[in-house]
Amino acid sequence: MKKPIQSAEAAMHAAAWSRIRLGDICDVVRGVTYRKHQASEEPGVGRVPILRATNIQDGKVVLNRDLVYVPADVVSDEQMLRNGDIVVATSSGSKHLVGKTAQVRESWIGSFGAFCAALRPKVAIDSRYLGHYFASKEYKDYIAKKALGVNINNLRRGDLEEILVPIVPIERQKRIVAEIEKQFSRLDEAVANLKRVKANLKRYKAAVLKAAVEGRLVETEAELARREGRSYETGEQFLHRILESRSSQWQGKGKYKEAAAPDTTDLSQLPEGWVWASFERAAERVTVGHVGSMKDEYVEEGIPFLRSQNVRENRYDPEGLKFISAEFHRQLAKSTLRSGDIVVVRSGSVGVSCVIPEHLKKANCSDLVIIKNPQAVMPSFGAYYMNSVVETRVAAGKVGVALTHYNTQSVAELPLPVPPLAEQYRIVEEVDRRFSLLHETETVVNANLQRAIHLRQSVLAAAFSPSLRGTSMGFYR
């Protein structure tokens, strides 16, 4: 790296690359300091909108939300944002937010808070050139070393002023900006296309699940039996067999009480051979995971303990999995999990369900609805149903204001279609086949989205490199 030159103006006209302190080419303007009682979330006469660190997102200034409004007399003329200013987040509880920048590219009457600063060019320099530099890995690596703090990460004014910015003459800056934006435009178009593909894949996945649980994905057992000239066990007969077996094997307290059949008055007509049931009729039991403090119960190794973040649509996610001791696990007998159980998120992403996989022979959970040992439906079919057409019923079963919540009884009584068992096997097999193909496509799409992120950094690295490697992208021609 070259030593910074002494004159900022000279750097604008030098034939070669130079490194110069940011403080020599930009004023660093501090944000507005105001008292809590002076701020309001509602605009009003004599009040000025104030940007906060959360308004800096993906290199853009978000002006339509998260603003606060303060009296105009606490804002100086210098603190009013101008077109071309670069806003920097200088303090935040999140280290990932500190150092984020965004360029003001429109006329806007407003200012910014004390946890931000504005960089305002004081020499003839293309502010877009600076804006792109602040998106580069070189800048981000510098910020990662400078943003210090324990609970709050801070970036000091001096840290900003000492950044050594690569500088070329103003005409070359404009050419570099034009080339960056041309290449970014191409990347943005590619990313938009990839995101459309992802959205289409998500819609197709939802359509597959809906068709599966409505009897439109594979040939029904009734149709197949008719074509082959044979009889078959209907869903109603299969369910009846399960209920009779459960009654005859009852060893609980008191007389066995069979769960009531669901009211089918407002339910849609099912395919031939299917029958309406409920999860409490189709499964051994519907219960709930442990509800209570876990502050002192987690251990490094032990019994897997699932939480809502471990439950994704139709799949178990081990990310962030916790563990509890065998002793505490024995105390939570009611919330014990076995492979084949269906777990349903009851708070937050309400209704999202998955099947406990085969490799989790023994586990426990917190605040999940557990459909234990589903017998009248294959576990995968039950989870597919929960993740598909029951969305509106789940919404109707929510309670609470601050936190959406889904109670155990709502799941237990939820109407559930039961196809013939042979048809369930074919449905699950076909869904798995299609989802496998979808997963392969999603993997390719996600890899290309990540590649696009890396390509943006490659463009910036080439743009701000004093070496000749940038000539291949047309930056220095």
Q: Is the pLDDT reported for residue 87 higher than 80?
A: yes
**241 located within any domain:** no
Tell me the CA distances in angstroms from 427 to 150, 251, 439, one per residue in order. 53, 34, 18
Within-domain flag for 245:
no
Looking at residues 307-314, what average pLDDT do you find? Answer: 95
Q: Give pLDDT, residue 5.
A: 47
Domain count, the chain: 3
Q: Kindly state whether residues 300 and 325 are assigned to the same domain.
A: yes
In the numeric block, the tokens 């085969």 are attached to 358
- pLDDT at 197 > cutoff 90: yes
pLDDT of residue 468: 44
Same domain, 218 and 146: no
Q: What is the pLDDT of residues 322-349, one digit of tens each?
A: 999 999 999 999 999 999 999 999 887 8
The proportion of the chain whose per-residue pLDDT surpasses 90, expressed as a percent, equals: 60
Q: How far is CA 365 from CA 94, 288, 291, 345, 429, in A?
A: 29, 9, 9, 11, 28
pLDDT at 402: 40
Do the Cβ atoms of 159 and 146 come closer than 8 Å? yes
pLDDT at 406 over 60: yes
Residues 288-304 have pLDDT tens digits of 999 888 989 999 999 99
What is the chain's alpha carbon radius of gyration, rounded to the nearest angstrom?
31
Q: Which of 209, 207, 205, 214 is nearest to 419 (CA)?
A: 214
The pLDDT tens digits for 165-180 are: 999 898 999 999 999 9
Share of the chain above pLDDT 70, in %: 89
User: Residue 192, SS3?
Assistant: helix
Q: Is 126 found in the same domain as 30?
A: yes
CA 416/CA 426 separation, integer angstroms: 18
The helix/strand/coil state of 341 is coil
If we measure between CA atoms, which residue out of 29, 27, 32 comes closest to residue 49? 32
Q: What is the pLDDT of residue 180?
A: 95
Summarize pLDDT for 341-390 with one digit per residue, the tens.
999 998 878 889 999 999 998 999 998 999 999 999 999 999 999 999 76
CA–CA separation, 250 and 264 (whole Å): 28
For the cut 80, the answer to whether the pLDDT of residue 2 exceeds it is: no
Q: Would 248 be classed as within a structural domain?
A: no
Check residue 466 and give its pLDDT: 64
Q: What is the pLDDT of residues 103-126, one digit of tens each?
A: 887 777 888 888 899 999 988 889
Based on the fold, state whether residues 97 and 209 are members of the same structural domain.
no
252 inside domain: no
Both 159 and 179 in a single domain?
no
Asked whether residue 460 falls in the same domain as residue 470, the answer is yes
The yes-or-no verdict on residue 391 having pLDDT over 90 is no
Phi, psi angle pair for 255, to nearest 5°: -80, 140
Same domain, 186 and 296: no
Same domain, 143 and 26: yes
Residues paired with residue 316 on neighbouring β-strands, in sequence order: 311
Mean pLDDT computed over every residue of the chain: 88
CATH code for the domain of 18: 3.90.220.20
For residue 90, which of 22, 166, 21, 158 has the smallest C-alpha distance? 158
Read off the DSSP letter of residue 167.
E
- pLDDT confidence of residue 203: 93
- Based on the fold, state whether residues 161 and 181 are members of the same structural domain: no
pLDDT value for 255: 83
Where is the domain boundary, 399, 419, 439? 419
Q: CA-CA distance, 191 to 451, in Å (whole number)? A: 10
Contact, 39 vs 68, CB < 8 A?
Answer: yes
Range of the domain at 299: 259-419
pLDDT of residue 184 exceeding 90, the answer is yes
For residue 236, give every residue at least 6 positions away whose Cβ sits within 8 Å of its Cβ, in sequence order, or none. Answer: 275, 418
Rounded Cα gap, residues 232 and 190, in angstroms: 52
Pick 20 or 465 by higher pLDDT: 20
Mean pLDDT on 298-316: 95
The least confident of 31-40, 181-190, 311-320, 438-447 is 31-40
Q: Does the pLDDT value for residue 129 go beyond 80?
A: yes
- Is residue 2, in this structure, part of any structural domain at all? no
Res 398: pLDDT? 56
Question: Rounded to whole angstroms, what are the CA distances from 248 to 239, 242, 281?
Answer: 14, 10, 15
pTM of the model: 0.78
Q: Which residue has the tokens 């999140």?
A: 94
Task: Please give the residue that has the higher pLDDT: either 398 or 401.
Answer: 398
My answer on whether 430 and 312 are in the same domain is no
Classify residue 303: in a domain, yes or no: yes
In this predicted structure, the answer to whether residue 469 has a pLDDT above a threshold of 90 is: no
Give a yes or no: residue 62 inside a domain.
yes
Last residue of one domain, picked from the residues 394, 419, 444 = 419
User: Which of 149, 168, 187 is at the close of a domain?
Assistant: 168
Mean pLDDT of 261-274: 92
242: in domain? no
Which pLDDT score, from 0 to 100, does residue 392 have? 61
Domain match, 275 and 411 both: yes
Question: Residue 13 — φ and ψ, nearest 5°?
Answer: -115, -5
- Separation CA 105–CA 31 (nearest Å): 19
The answer to whether residue 250 scores a pLDDT higher than 60 is yes
**Residues 223, 191 share a domain:** yes
- Provide the pLDDT confidence category of residue 4 given band limits of 50, 70 and 90: very low
Angle at which helix 421-463 crosses helix 170-213, to 10 degrees, equals 180
Can you name the residues that pair with 92 across neighbouring β-strands?
Answer: 153
Q: Comparing C-alpha atoms, which of 63, 108, 112 is closest to residue 82?
A: 108
